[in-house]
Amino acid sequence: MPGYRGHIFIALLFCGLLYLFPFWMPLPLPGKIACVAICVFFGLWPDVDTKSKGQSIFLVLFFAANVLLIYRQDYQRAAYLGLLIVLPLCSRHRGWTHSITAMILIPGALYLAFVHYSNTTPTDLFPYFLAALLGYGSHLAADRIW
Ligand SMILES: [Zn+2]
């Protein structure tokens, strides 16, 4: 079982697959950096269901996001975020967060939400969605091999 450093390394290897897609070269540097960060983020995400370095990172990020939402008096989104945070903590390790269904649904739902709430086209955000899929897939592949 690879630790968080192993998952980061494998996510970075999978992220290299983005070079194979035609959208990669014209993507500006901040976009490329964001893709790598998203890939690593989703490379760590599935282990949010167990005591791990990834869980610590995600809980701090979710806590900060929830505090920001409450500060902005966006209580409905804060409540939904709080509900979503609890879900992985209620399941067993390598449960639903380690499924291919979750690999598609979680990045897919975020992709659709960003497409809906931003002024960009689905094509503009597709590299980030693909980076999320590659990161998530890297985690599932690593856990199945080790
Ligand atoms: Zn795992």
List, for residues 63-111, the tens digit of each pLDDT value.
Answer: 999 999 999 999 999 999 999 888 888 888 888 999 999 999 999 999 9
pTM of this prediction? Answer: 0.85
Where does residue 94 fall: left (phi above 0), alpha (psi -120 to 50 degrees), or beta otherwise?
A: left
Q: How far is the CA of 136 from the centre of ligand 1 (A)?
A: 10
Question: From CA 76, how far away is CA 80, in angstroms rounded?
Answer: 6
pLDDT bracket for residue 1 (50, 70, 90)? low
pLDDT at 93: 82
C-alpha 78 to ligand 1 mean position (Å): 27
CA 8–ligand 1 middle distance (angstroms)? 12
Give the distance (Å) from ligand 1 centre to CA of residue 36: 19
- How far is C-alpha 26 from the geometric centre of its chain's CA atoms? 23
- DSSP H helices, the chain, are 4-15, 29-44, 53-71, 75-89, 100-117, 122-145
At residue 15, what is the residue type?
C
Identify the pLDDT of residue 66: 94
Q: How far is the CA of 62 from the centre of ligand 1 (A)?
A: 19
Ligand 1 centroid, distance to 24 Cα (angstroms): 28
How remote is the CA of residue 43 from the centroid of ligand 1, in Å? 9
